[in-house]
Amino acid sequence: MADELVHYAVADEVATITLDSPHNRNALSAQLVRELGECLERAEADEAAKVVLLRAEGTVFCSGADLSEASTGAPEDAPRGIVRLQRTIVGSSKPVVLRLQGAVRAGGIGLVAAADVVVAKEDATFALTEVKLGLAPAVISLTVLPRLTSRAAAYTFLTGETFTGAEAERMGLVTRAVPAEGLDAEVERVCASLATGAVQGLRETKALLAHDLLERIDRLGDDVAAQSARLFGSAEARGAMSAFLSRRR
């Protein structure tokens, strides 16, 4: 049986979900996506948890799609899974806090944008690299576009350039960017503050905040998943992904 890639624990009314897939830098493999979805559903049903904390082990929070799977598997499976993950996070009745300790790329940025509160290291790095591989950030546009200013979206989507946590805060993608030594203290403070809310208050307020974003996901989710599948299945993208994997090896 494959080793568990996502861990779940509860303490002090916070359900902590940890990505732990070092072999592929916490990429969104089919197994990780499935386990993350299961942990999010577990947190939703867990009466001991009022807040959900999403974090990762290692120096990379999430490297995006697992290209080794995407270059050979059915192109429609992964996009649908990422749409579901984003909807589960946005639709959670409990506030979702994301602790960003390191690099996040491409599809992983969709998880960042779906969370309610994001605390990042100032020097954490972001990049929407899809354009370099003949792809587009289609499914993650569901959550990323509403967070970014239109100018920031155009620049980051079209160039694929790297930007920092401090820049992401100015763009609206991150709630707060802090020095590395203050990351855990700030995450703990935010989670503790959220946990002082009443269950009903948190649930109803979260529903108000999530309404428009859920509507957008439900309205556009099938279309962007189909677009992503078409691009991942294209000869241009498959060639670019194979070349990238060869260089990395």
Q: Which of 22-26, 77-81, 88-92, 121-125 has the lowest mean pLDDT?
A: 77-81
The answer, yes or no, to whether residue 99 has pLDDT greater than 70, is yes
pLDDT band at 73, cuts 50/70/90?
A: low
Q: How far apart are CA 222 and CA 56, in angstroms?
A: 28
Predicted confidence band at 68 (pLDDT cuts at 50, 70, 90)? confident
* Closest to 115 (Cα-Cα) out of 223, 216, 206: 206
The DSSP call for residue 191 is H
Share of the chain above pLDDT 70, in %: 97
What is d(CA 125, CA 61) in angstroms, rounded to the nearest whole number?
A: 10
Class of domain 6-180: alpha beta
d(CA 12, CA 7): 17
| Per-residue model confidence as pLDDT tens digits over 6-59 | 999 999 999 999 999 999 999 999 999 999 999 999 999 999 999 999 999 999
Domain range list for the chain: 6-180
Residue (of 107, 135, 159) closest to 234 by Cα position = 135
